[in-house]
């Protein structure tokens, strides 16, 4: 069992829909990261959360430390949001990150 589980694995949405991607983790972590990977490979860090909620444009990330759960929301989705979204957690001790296997999002015009 992975330390970090994401759902769904694949998601197709119509342009304009509200999208939620979920991430649950079984290990104690100090911060949780949401990453975006576009076709072609490069990975960009979207958010780093240790508590509460963060917002950047149409993207919102929340984390519930007690429930060991985080969500990434995309409002008014657009085809350019099509990408793989990855959550990753890590601890203050050690250098290792625990990665989810990613959610592949396709937004159809």
Partner 1 sequence: DVKVTQSSRYLVKRTGEKVFLECVQDMDHENMFWYRQDPGLGLRLIYFSYDVKMKEKGDIPEGYSVSREKKERFSLILESASTNQTSMYLCASRFRRFSQPQHFGDGTRLSIL
Q: How many angstroms separate the Cα of 62 from the Cα of each of 24, 51, 91, 93, 108?
A: 12, 8, 18, 23, 25
Tokens of 56: 């950047």
- Smallest distance, Å, CB 62 to partner 1? 18
- Smallest distance, Å, CB 76 to partner 1? 25
Cβ-based nearer residue to partner 1, 20 or 102: 102
* Binding positions for partner 1, rule: CB under 8 A: 2, 30-31, 33, 35, 40-45, 48, 50, 86, 88, 90-92, 95-97, 99-102
């Amino acid at each position: 069992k992975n330390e970090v589980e994401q759902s769904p694995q694949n998601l197709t949405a119509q342009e304009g829909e509200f999208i939620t991607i979920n991430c649950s983790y079984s290990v104690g972590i100090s911060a949780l990261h949401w990453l975006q990977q576009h076709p072609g490979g490069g990975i960009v860090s979207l958010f780093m959360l240790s508590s509460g909620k963060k917002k950047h444009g149409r993207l919102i990330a929340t984390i519930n430390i007690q429930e060991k759960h985080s969500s990434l929301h995309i409002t008014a989705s657009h085809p350019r949001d099509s990408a793989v979204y990855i959550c990753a957690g890590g601890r203050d001790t050690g250098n290792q990150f625990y990665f989810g296997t990613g959610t592949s999002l396709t937004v159809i015009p």
